[in-house]
Amino acid sequence: MKAPAALEQLTAALKRLPGVGPKSAQRFAYYLLQHDREGARLIARALDDAVARIRHCVRCNTFSEAEVCETCASPRRDAGLLCVVETPSDQLMVEQTLSYGGLYFVLMGRLSPLDGVGPKEIHLDRLLARATDGQVREVILATNFTQEGEATAHYIGELLRARGLRVTRLARGVPVGSELEYVDPGTIAHALRDRRIVDD
Amino acid sequence: MKAPAALEQLTAALKRLPGVGPKSAQRFAYYLLQHDREGARLIARALDDAVARIRHCVRCNTFSEAEVCETCASPRRDAGLLCVVETPSDQLMVEQTLSYGGLYFVLMGRLSPLDGVGPKEIHLDRLLARATDGQVREVILATNFTQEGEATAHYIGELLRARGLRVTRLARGVPVGSELEYVDPGTIAHALRDRRIVDD
């Protein structure tokens, strides 16, 4: 006995989602066919639409429907500040702080030589051209504080400083709401080194 | 700052997959757009195809492209045996044993009054009609050995026995390859009660 061809194909297709294996793909397929055929059609439409309409902003490289994304096109943004993040989700997190008014560059990845991700894959040539447009005063490196994120920040920082730009990195320190007793020593060491003068 | 509309819609659509929340949906969307646009198109096609072509077999209720599925249409199957399972995956598992040559009825669910799943939702009227076609000699209840699966088996068993059918249930016992020391007492109790005569 075999499952119907259309069902086999759907399961095979759903396996292309990241982290979805044969069991999950089958569960998705059965669920949609049994309980949510409207949802299945909706997902199909949304996929086609997104593939057709989403491209990368020519200035900041984030996902965008227009050639230049809304953020880059906004006249209210400070063009002297450029924040470098790994992904659009990271960009959203920075935006949610409501404490940054500059522009962005989204790498869409991080340096990871073992996975074949080098300077070209994270569009460093475009970042360099963007950062040296004469308007940018400061580049804030906001890649993740993982090994690969740190290496990426270091590499980009070197390149940009060689071009005479002011380069900063997000502060490492004790997270808001945490008790020192439960914070790892490495973080406290960083918080000590980056301590700030109390000046109200 | 907001994500582009087509991206927001894709993320919202992917949340309809079972067990997929906002974070996973966003991860799926970003991954497909960044790394596998071909995969996105493929999933969209497969979803449309499956929704258009997959229906339920009129005899056994499993997913099928034809009015009567391959298994039900096969002349090599013993029409005197009917195995009742909860889902097409369960049916596949029984098939994989290569030790069953009868037919199936797939409930596409289990009785679960709290979730609004009653006799109608698992198509018991169709099962009764199917089991009393005059050809079926024995109905094998192969619902899961969970609380809901057991309740479903009990309920169906009562109905079928009242119609004079021979009704059996999969044996409960010690799983192949397991050591008694690590099997739960309930299972051993069942294995004792259902013990079989050694006759080679």
* pLDDT value of residue B1: 67
* pLDDT value of residue A198: 80
* pLDDT value of residue A185: 87
User: Residue B112: helix, strand or coil by DSSP?
Assistant: strand
* pLDDT value of residue B54: 95
Q: Among residues A18, A42, A118, which one has the least CA distance to residue B35? A: A18
Q: Based on the fold, state whether residues B60 and B92 are members of the same structural domain.
A: yes
Using CA coordinates, name the residue in chain A closest to B93: A1
Using a CB-CB cut-off of 8 Å, the residues of chain A touching B28 are: 17-18
pLDDT tens digits for range A16-75: 999 999 999 999 999 999 999 999 999 999 999 999 999 999 999 999 999 999 999 999
* pLDDT value of residue B181: 86
Q: Cβ distance A104 to A71 under 8 Å?
A: yes
* pLDDT value of residue A125: 93
Evaluate whether residue B18 is within a structural domain: no
Q: Based on the fold, state whether residues A139 and A106 are members of the same structural domain.
A: yes
Evaluate whether residue B139 is within a structural domain: yes
How does A117-128 read in b/e, with b if 16+ C-beta sit within 10 Å? beeeebbbebbb
The number of domains in chain B is 2
Using a CB-CB cut-off of 8 Å, the residues of chain B touching A65 are: 4-6
CATH code assigned at B117? 3.40.1360.10
How many Cα atoms within 13 Å fall on the side-chain side of residue B75? 0
Q: Based on the fold, state whether residues A62 and A114 are members of the same structural domain.
A: yes
Using CA coordinates, name the residue in chain B closest to A107: B34
Q: What is the mean pLDDT of residues B4-23?
A: 94
* pLDDT value of residue B180: 86
Q: What is the mean pLDDT of residues B32-52?
A: 95
Q: Based on the fold, state whether residues A152 and A77 are members of the same structural domain.
A: yes
CB-defined contacts A:B, below 8 A: 170
Evaluate whether residue A28 is within a structural domain: no
Q: Based on the fold, state whether residues B77 and B101 are members of the same structural domain.
A: yes
Cα dihedral B160, B162, B166, B167 in deg (nearest 10): 50
Site from B36, B45, B54, B90 to mutate, A interface, most A CB atoms within 10 angstroms:
B54
Using a CB-CB cut-off of 8 Å, the residues of chain A touching B19 are: 27
Evaluate whether residue A99 is within a structural domain: yes
Cα dihedral A28, A29, A31, A37 in deg (nearest 10): 120
Supply angle C-alpha B35, B36, B37, rounded to 5. Answer: 115
Interchain contact, B17 vs A43, CB within 8 Å: yes
| pLDDT of B75 strictly over 70 | yes
Evaluate whether residue B7 is within a structural domain: no
Q: Judging by DSSP bridges, how do beta strands B166-169 and B138-141 pair with one another? A: parallel
Q: Based on the fold, state whether residues B86 and B144 are members of the same structural domain.
A: yes
Q: Among residues A102, A7, A91, A10, which one has the least CA distance to residue A56? A: A91
Q: How far is B79 from chain A (nearest CA, A)?
A: 16
In angstroms, rounded to a whole number, what is the distance separating the alpha carbons of residues A75 and A135? 14
Q: How far is B181 from chain A (nearest CA, A)?
A: 30
| pLDDT of B22 strictly over 90 | yes
Evaluate whether residue B112 is within a structural domain: yes
Q: Cβ distance B17 to A32 under 8 Å?
A: yes
Using a CB-CB cut-off of 8 Å, the residues of chain A touching B3 are: 63, 88, 92
Q: Based on the fold, state whether residues A160 and A175 are members of the same structural domain.
A: no
| In chain B, alpha helices (H) | 5-14, 22-35, 37-53, 70-73, 88-96, 124-131, 147-162, 185-193
Q: Based on the fold, state whether residues B71 and B136 are members of the same structural domain.
A: yes
Residue A116 backbone phi and psi in degrees, to 5: 75, 20
Residues of chain A with pLDDT under 50: none
Structure tokens, A51 = 């593939």
Using a CB-CB cut-off of 8 Å, the residues of chain A touching B9 are: 46, 49-50
Interchain contact, B65 vs A27, CB within 8 Å: no
Identify the domain containing residue A193 by its residue range. Answer: 171-199
Evaluate whether residue B95 is within a structural domain: yes
Report the first-to-last Cα separation within chain B, whole angstroms: 74
In angstroms, rounded to a whole number, what is the distance separating the alpha carbons of residues B146 and B165? 24
In angstroms, rounded to a whole number, what is the distance separating the alpha carbons of residues B128 and B139? 11
Interchain contact, B70 vs A1, CB within 8 Å: yes
Q: Say what the ipTM of the complex is.
A: 0.81
| pLDDT of B182 strictly over 90 | no
Cα dihedral B51, A33, B74, B153 in deg (nearest 10): -160
Let me know if A114 is exposed, middle or buried by CB neighbors in 10 A (0-12, 13-18, 19+): exposed
* pLDDT value of residue B200: 63
Q: Cβ distance A30 to B89 under 8 Å?
A: yes
Evaluate whether residue A47 is within a structural domain: no
Residue B156 backbone phi and psi in degrees, to 5: -65, -40
Using CA coordinates, name the residue in chain B closest to A92: B1
Q: Based on the fold, state whether residues A113 and A187 are members of the same structural domain.
A: no
Q: What is the mean pLDDT of residues B171-193?
A: 87
Q: Based on the fold, state whether residues B76 and B162 are members of the same structural domain.
A: yes
Q: How far is A115 from chain B (nearest CA, A)?
A: 13
In angstroms, rounded to a whole number, what is the distance separating the alpha carbons of residues B35 and B58? 41
Q: In what order do the strands lie in the sheet with B78-85?
A: B102-106, B78-85, B138-141, B166-169
Site from B2, B14, B15, B16 to mutate, A interface, most A CB atoms within 10 angstroms:
B16
Q: How far is B98 from chain A (nearest CA, A)?
A: 10
Computed over every residue of chain B, the mean pLDDT equals 92
Q: Based on the fold, state whether residues A178 and A139 are members of the same structural domain.
A: no
* pLDDT value of residue B39: 95
Q: Based on the fold, state whether residues A189 and A133 are members of the same structural domain.
A: no
